[in-house]
Structure 1
Amino acid sequence: MKLNKNGAWKSDTHAASASGVVRDRNRSWLWEFTRNLGCCLLLEAELWPILDGLNLLWMQGFRCVEIESESAAAVCIISDESVAKHSISLVRTIRAL
């Protein structure tokens, strides 16, 4: 399964939303999701769609998931295993999945 995600964030108001698309191994569209995040930090706007997409896939029984993100910061913070207990709960929850 492949999760393509997008976090949208406005720098002037910090208003944000999260969305994503789930595709199968043949790249066929399966479903999409979206969430209004209200006001948050840019990094949170990049992390929420990863968590939402993983939760959606886990509920459907999928455990092998490729995540595609345009956010280098989100990818680095999630994949950096040297930070065992990160202060951002979103990162800890994503890692737990």
Structure 2
Amino acid sequence: METEKSCLFFQQEGAAAGGGLIRDEGGNWVAGFSRKIGRTNSFVAEIWALRDGLQLCQQMNARAVMIELDAKSLVDVLNNSSYYNAVISPLLDDYKFLISQIPQVRVRHTYREANKCADCLANLGLSQSLDYIVHSNPPLELIPLIEADSLGSFCNRLCPGLVSFF
């Protein structure tokens, strides 16, 4: 089964949360998760959510995983095998172990605008009473975003440094 996972950090009043989703090769919902993380920085929250998503992929016996992250700095770290940071080393070790259990893994960057479903799940994590929730069905708040994805809806992104000609 080919799966896709996104994760995201959201911070409000110092509280961090993460969320992500797994889709099949047709882009259909398979599962999702949301986590209340607590106080931390965005980089740690991103890698924490990545770890949660990979654990969920492993539990579902995913054989091929495309990881899409909107945190370019984390994508760069994950694609650099010589990177070391003592603060996040345990989470990076978990990441390395989890991807070693999945035959095919690819990590790529996606823009935040394309990551709205994961953003919604992260927002749910901020207000949930449990630390970690696996969603076997999309939460109601997420359904319009999933429908927009399936219809191929998009939003424009302004890219700094691009020159337009009239």
With normalisation by structure 1, the TM-score equals 0.87
The aligned amino acid for 1:47 is: I
- 1:60-88 Cα deviation digits (max 9, x unpaired): 111321110110111111221122x5421
The percent identity for this pair of structures is 27
Number of the residue aligned with 1:96: 97
With normalisation by structure 2, the TM-score equals 0.53
Hey, what's the Cα distance between the residues in 2 that align with 1:43 and 1:16? Answer: 10
- 1:39-73 Cα deviation digits (max 9, x unpaired): 01211111111100100110111132111011011
The aligned amino acid for 2:68 is: E
Q: Which runs of 4+ in 1 moved over 3 A?
A: none
The aligned amino acid for 1:20 is: G
- 1:8-48 Cα deviation digits (max 9, x unpaired): 124xx431000011100010011111000010121111111
Query: 2:49 matched to 1:64?
Result: no
For the pair shown, the structure with the greater C-alpha radius of gyration is 2
After the TM superposition, which residues 13-28 of structure 1 pair with which residues of structure 2 at under 5 Å, given as runs?
A: 13-28=13-28
Structure 2, unaligned runs of 5 or more: 99-166
Secondary structure in 2 aligned to 1:65?
strand
RMSD: 1.4
Structure 1, unaligned runs of 5 or more: none
